[in-house]
Structure 1
Amino acid sequence: MNQTLTPSPHHSHSHENTVPRPALIMAGALVALSIVLTATVSFGYVDREAVPQVERAKAAVAPAQMRQLRFEDVANGNVRVSDAETGKLVLLVEQDTQSGGFIRGVMRGLARERRMYGIGSVPPFELTLWQDGSLSLHDTATGRDVELGGFGNDNRVVFMELLDGAGA
């Protein structure tokens, strides 16, 4: 009972992988467009994204309110926020609160950069409310700025409260 199976003409198929020509044309056009757009920015035909500090300087936006603060880790995992001029406690940031989590998250990134440069917690941070309503945190030691409005109004309010905190 030796039977040889022959392929049926109804079951043959091709294993050739082809991509439709219109899809290849669209992919090529997308790559070309990306290169052209990148070149227009690189060669100065289109402005780069706005830098808040530069835009404020161009528009002569002055600080409406400023406060220098220090952020220090406490043994139990909380963060002590104090007024840099008076040393008075502004806020004790508890680690298990949502607002505390946001402050700790922002400060974690800034502290990591300070550690890279061997800078401790002594140089203050400058919290500034600008006349245009924007709010920024400036690290006086590294020069890094964080625009706090980009994190949503609820998170912005957390830092706004530090401007008028108990240590003033």
Structure 2
Amino acid sequence: MSETVRKSGHHADSIPRGVLFGAGALLIFAFSMAFYGRSSDSGAVHMPQAQPYQTLRLFFTDQADGGIAVTDADSGAVLSMVAPGTNGFLRSTMRGFAHARMLGGIGPQAPFALTRWNDGTLSLIDDTTGRRVDLDAFGPNQSASFAKLFPAAKAPTR
């Protein structure tokens, strides 16, 4: 004969008191360590702020055939002609910037700033809207579509 001992009443499904104290102590310890880490900056890694190395001020102008003319705002030289239906990353990036300007009621008069930082990264910045896209976040193939504009600025094509 086997007898099953069954608890009944108030303490039938309770968690042992020692386990509760242990869990509470663990929570208090975890929160106190998190607070200490945030308030003391302990273990934080700080990267030096990148400085602009080279900046191009650019206009991106839609063409009648569906292409895009990329023009140096300072010299007026056409740096690149993006053929219709090509360079989807450049097109979609500029479409996002144009949309932000349209929402803000801002026209195409101000150039965009393509900046190469001293750590080698690239950013496209619109000072009129405050929008900034770090192009390297999309991978080297995508940022290369903008990076090739820097050598073109030294030897413009017309």
* TM-score normalized with structure 1 length: 0.62
* One-letter amino acid of the structure 2 residue matched with residue 137 of structure 1: L
Asked whether the 8 Å contact 1:82–1:167 carries over to 2, the reply is no
**Match of 1:84?**
73
Q: Secondary structure at the match of 2:58?
A: strand
**Match of 1:95?**
84
C-alpha deviations, 1:59-109, integer Å up to 9, x for none? 242111111101111111111110001111011112322xx2111010000
RMSD: 2.7
**Match of 1:5?**
none
Q: How does 1:99-114 map to 2 (within 5 A)?
A: 100-114=87-101
For structure 2, the 5+ residue unaligned runs are 1-33
Q: Secondary structure at the match of 2:148?
A: helix
> Aligned equivalents of 1:154 and 1:60: distance in 2?
25
> Aligned equivalents of 1:137 and 1:45: distance in 2?
32
> Aligned equivalents of 1:163 and 1:125: distance in 2?
14
2:126 corresponds, among 131, 134, 139, to 139
Once the 2 structures are TM-superposed, how far is the Cα of residue 45 of structure 1 from its aligned partner? 4.1
Runs of 4+ in 1 over 6 A off after TM superposition: none
* One-letter amino acid of the structure 1 residue matched with residue 53 of structure 2: A
* TM-score normalized with structure 2 length: 0.66
**Match of 2:145?**
158
C-alpha deviations, 1:6-46, integer Å up to 9, x for none? xxxxxxxxxxxxxxxxxxxxxxxxxxxxxxxxxx8xxx949
* One-letter amino acid of the structure 1 residue matched with residue 139 of structure 2: G
Q: Secondary structure at the match of 1:164?
A: helix
Aligned length: 118
| 1:117 paired to 2:100 | no
> Aligned equivalents of 2:72 and 2:112: distance in 1?
10
**Match of 1:7?**
none
**Match of 2:156?**
167
Once the two structures are aligned, what percentage of the paired residues are identical? 41
For structure 1, the 5+ residue unaligned runs are 1-39, 48-54
1:149 corresponds, among 132, 136, 141, to 136
Q: Secondary structure at the match of 1:96?
A: coil
Once the 2 structures are TM-superposed, how far is the Cα of residue 157 of structure 1 from its aligned partner? 1.1
